[in-house]
């Protein structure tokens, strides 16, 4: 994150001098603390804290970002032990001071940056937290205004590619972690589909393309997406161990793949080059054979197979509204009669979980979909639950035992950038930095 500083060079020199003199004394005092003084988990600070004078500090993992009037003044890493908190700032070095922390307030005192940092901060959205997920929760998405493909493992973030990239799906098999998405390529004249295995990239197509979902069955690695063809547009495509098979000879896209035994299932649409278009028809492919799920404008976003039952989640345009829809063996069930979209389906035992969103309105404009006042939603069987507001979306759900993980993104408050988020059994964890998004979750036992 770029730092915007509004203090003059002489002021910076003065602060550095203070750090050299006073900051050292704090560090020296720290060295004399009780040997029994315990380290404080940085997750305890997680979230956004605000104080008077338009001051705020955002703690994510072991990083901090101090702002005044929403402009970054300092950022870096931090640690805490006993009642002492230590900040490491790339330009100003290390400074320590005292803190007291409750569930809703954070008080900083005796800090050596400048007096403006000291004071009492109140936690915004008091229930929000970061960290504590452990290292068995994998999340794929992207971060930053220019988009960089990201893979998160618990509190650890890994950038998979440079700017102009996205990771859309993650799957873990044994000790191997697979992700698919795209990178922008000037030679291809657009995105190209990418498979990452343990952070090493493999290009799936040399032409304009995208990979949306990955699934591993035994030693076989499957991915689905679309490849652009001149005069046709995008064509739904499945890759098996890097070898492409076209699913449709007309304009189409595939968003999800699932393998059950010898059968390969893919979900998407046929009809247009745009993700949402009144000409699209939700489609399920089984071993390359297409089945149209709806004669209305529609998309199929996710497929999951449990025994002999095939579940597909998506959206259908009915009576002037886009409505979240679940198909079981080809039979449609409307999940919400208000504007809504279902993005992902997961089956655990006899329970059916669907992640998506509801909105005040969903419209098509210039070949793209516009959503207003979205709310992350989780449907379990016939019961719906609003997970988060405001401006939030749930894109993925994974169930392990009694734990339900929902991945997506949302604002921490109205007017603030969206952050990648995980909701575990309803508890919210902020995963990424500003302008970050989670599109896929995979959890190991």
Give the mean model confidence (pLDDT) for residues 96-111: 82
pLDDT of the residue at 269: 95
Give the mean model confidence (pLDDT) for residues 12-16: 35
Q: Which CATH architecture has domain 137-443?
A: 7 Propeller (2.130)
pLDDT of the residue at 54: 73
SS (H, E, C) the chain: CCCCCCCCHHHHHHHHHHHHHHHHHHHHHHCCCCCCCCEECHHHHCEEEEECCCEEEEEECCEEEEEECCEEEEEEEEEEECCEEEEEECCCEEEEEEEEECCCEEEEECCCCCHHHCEEEEECCCCCECCCCCCCEEEEEEECCCCEEEEEECCEEEEEEEECEEEEEEEEECCEEEEEEEEEECCCCEEEEEEEECCEEEECCCCCEEEEEEEEECCEEEEEEEEEECCCEEEEEEEECCEEEECCCCCEEEEEEEEECCEEEEEEEECCCCCCCCCCEEEEEECCEEEECCCCCEEEEEEEEECCEEEEEEEEEECCEEEEEEEECCEEEECCCCCEEEEEEEEECCEEEEEEEECCEEEEECCEEEEECCEEEEEECCEEEEEECCCEEEEEEEEECCEEEEEEEEECCCCCCEEEEEEECCEEEEEEEECEEEEEEEECC
Dihedral sign computed on CA atoms, order 134, 138, 141, 143:
positive
Give the mean model confidence (pLDDT) for residues 390-403: 94
- Check whether 31 has a pLDDT greater than 70: no
Of 360-369, 420-429, 430-439, which has the strongest mean pLDDT?
A: 420-429
Of 114-123, 269-278, 351-360, which has the strongest mean pLDDT?
A: 351-360
pLDDT of the residue at 5: 36
Domains 9-123 and 137-443 share a fold: no
Provide the pLDDT confidence category of residue 376 given band limits of 50, 70 and 90: very high
Choice between 124 and 184, residue whose per-residue pLDDT is larger: 184
- Check whether 202 has a pLDDT greater than 60: yes
Of the listed ranges 20-29, 235-244, 365-374, 375-384, the least confidently predicted one is 20-29
- Check whether 12 has a pLDDT greater than 60: no
Average pLDDT of the chain is 84
Provide the pLDDT confidence category of residue 121 given band limits of 50, 70 and 90: confident
Of 186-195, 283-292, 389-398, which has the strongest mean pLDDT?
A: 283-292
- Check whether 414 has a pLDDT greater than 60: no
Domain ranges of the chain: 9-123, 137-443
CATH for 9-123? Answer: 2.40.128
pLDDT of the residue at 124: 67
Give the mean model confidence (pLDDT) for residues 75-103: 83
- Check whether 10 has a pLDDT greater than 50: no
Place of tokens 């709310």: 375
Give the mean model confidence (pLDDT) for residues 93-109: 82
183-200 as b/e: b if 16+ CB within 10 A: bbbeebeebbbbbbeeee
- Check whether 307 has a pLDDT greater than 60: yes
Whole-model pTM: value is 0.72
pLDDT of the residue at 113: 62
Please give the Cα distance from 286 to 329 (Å, whole number). 12
- Check whether 384 has a pLDDT greater than 70: yes
Of the listed ranges 22-36, 218-232, 430-444, the least confidently predicted one is 22-36
pLDDT of the residue at 42: 78
């Amino acid at each position: 994150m770029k730092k915007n500083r509004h203090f003059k060079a002489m002021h910076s020199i003065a602060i550095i001098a203070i750090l050299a003199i006073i900051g050292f004394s704090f560090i020296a005092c720290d060295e004399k603390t009780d040997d029994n003084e315990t380290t404080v988990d940085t997750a305890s600070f997680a979230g956004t804290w605000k104080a008077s004078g338009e001051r705020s500090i955002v703690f994510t993992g072991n990083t901090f970002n101090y702002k005044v009037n929403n402009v970054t003044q300092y950022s870096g890493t931090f640690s805490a032990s006993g009642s002492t908190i230590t900040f490491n700032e790339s330009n100003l070095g290390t400074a320590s001071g005292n803190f007291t922390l409750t569930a809703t307030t954070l008080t900083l005192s005796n800090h050596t940056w400048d007096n403006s940092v000291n004071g009492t901060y109140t936690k915004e959205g008091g229930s929000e937290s970061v960290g504590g997920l452990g290292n068995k929760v994998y999340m794929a998405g992207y971060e930053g205004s220019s988009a960089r493909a990201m893979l998160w493992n618990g509190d650890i973030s890994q950038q998979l590619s440079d700017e102009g990239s996205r990771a859309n799906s993650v799957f873990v098999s044994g000790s191997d972690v697979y992700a698919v998405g795209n990178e922008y390529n000037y030679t291809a004249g657009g995105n190209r589909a990418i498979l990452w295995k343990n952070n090493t990239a493999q290009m799936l197509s040399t032409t304009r393309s995208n990979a949306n979902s990955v699934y591993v069955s035994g030693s076989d690695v499957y991915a689905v997406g679309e490849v652009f063809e001149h005069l046709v547009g995008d064509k739904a495509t499945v890759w098996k161990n890097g070898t492409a098979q076209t699913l449709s000879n007309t304009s189409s896209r595939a968003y999800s793949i699932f393998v059950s035994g010898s059968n390969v299932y893919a979900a998407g649409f046929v009809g247009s080059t745009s993700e949402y278009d009144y000409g699209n028809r939700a489609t399920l492919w089984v071993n390359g054979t297409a089945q149209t799920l709806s004669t209305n404008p529609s998309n199929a976003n996710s497929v999951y197979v449990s025994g002999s039952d095939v579940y597909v989640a998506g959206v259908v345009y009915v009576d002037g509204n886009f409505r979240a829809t679940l198909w079981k063996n080809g039979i449609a069930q409307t999940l919400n009669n208000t504007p809504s979209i279902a993005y992902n389906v997961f089956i655990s035992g006899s329970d059916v979980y669907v992640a998506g969103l509801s909105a005040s309105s969903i419209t098509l404009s210039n070949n793209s979909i516009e959503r207003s006042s979205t709310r992350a939603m989780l449907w379990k069987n016939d019961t719906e639950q609003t997970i988060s507001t405001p401006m939030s979306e749930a894109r993925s759900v994974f169930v392990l035992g009694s734990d339900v993980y929902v991945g997506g993104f949302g604002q921490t408050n109205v007017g603030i950038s969206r952050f990648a988020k995980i909701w575990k059994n309803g508890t919210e964890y902020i995963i990424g930095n500003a302008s970050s998004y989670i599109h896929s979750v995979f959890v190991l036992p």
